[in-house]
Amino acid sequence: MPSTLAFLVLIPALCWVICTDLLYRRIHNTLVLTLIALWVALPVMALLGQGPWAAFGHGEIMHELTGSLTGAVIVLLVGYGLFSLGQVGAGDVKLMAVMCLWIDCDDLMAFLIITALSGGMLALALPLLTLMENTCARGWLKVGRRYPQLNIPVPTVLTPDRQQGIPYGLAIASGAFYTLLFPIHS
């Protein structure tokens, strides 16, 4: 379903994810819940003859719903197992599941593979990624000092309790961007 609505909703949301995950190693629940609420509105809008699914018949809507929900549930279950083992963050799992809702169900496997490959590339480039994180965080800190009324918190990448590992929101965003821009089934 790479529709205009998906682009309007997901592109800014994923840019926000990249920034917050890179600087704070956090993917906010508010963003995830907002994306879920907007996705739930799609079939409701279709029933009213509005939105990107309006031209779909009931069979096509059910195909999208069941495919997307199945993918999201599987990702959530596998992700929960990985989270329980301390291998991935809870925000990453939730975001990945929500992206499965938004990505066309025929492109879910491509999304998962591209996300995994992006994560692998981030792991290989970890020293460069750390340098980029620190540079961005220092720049963000300068903005906060210049405009104290913004109350910008110190990025966690500059604090002693910095989390180790890969900010996987970047990989998820890369997989989603690629899948939205170059869908396999269009």
Whether 18 maps to a domain, the answer reads yes
Greater confidence, 184 or 99?
Answer: 99
Whether 52 maps to a domain, the answer reads yes
Range of the domain at 110: 4-181
Whether 36 maps to a domain, the answer reads yes
Whether 60 maps to a domain, the answer reads yes
- Supply the pLDDT for residue 2: 52
Angle, CA of 99, 85 and 162, to the nearest 5°: 80
Whether 86 maps to a domain, the answer reads yes
Greater confidence, 44 or 128?
Answer: 128
Taking only the tens place, the pLDDT of each residue in 24-63 is 999 999 999 999 999 999 888 888 888 777 788 888 888 8
Give DSSP secondary structure letters for 127-171.
HHHHHHHHHHHHHHHHHHHH-GGG-PPPPGGGSTTPPPS--THHH
| Number of domains the chain contains | 1
Whether 186 maps to a domain, the answer reads no
Q: Confidence band (pLDDT; 50, 70, 90) for 1?
A: very low
Helix, strand, coil share of the chain (percent; to 5):
75, 0, 25
Whether 23 maps to a domain, the answer reads yes
CA distance 18 to 48: 34
Question: For residues 163 and 25, is the Cβ–Cβ distance under 8 A?
Answer: yes
Taking only the tens place, the pLDDT of each residue in 72-104 is 999 999 999 999 999 999 999 999 999 999 998
3-class DSSP state for residue 28? coil
Mean pLDDT, all residues of the chain: 91
Mean pLDDT for 114-141 is 94
Whether 164 maps to a domain, the answer reads yes
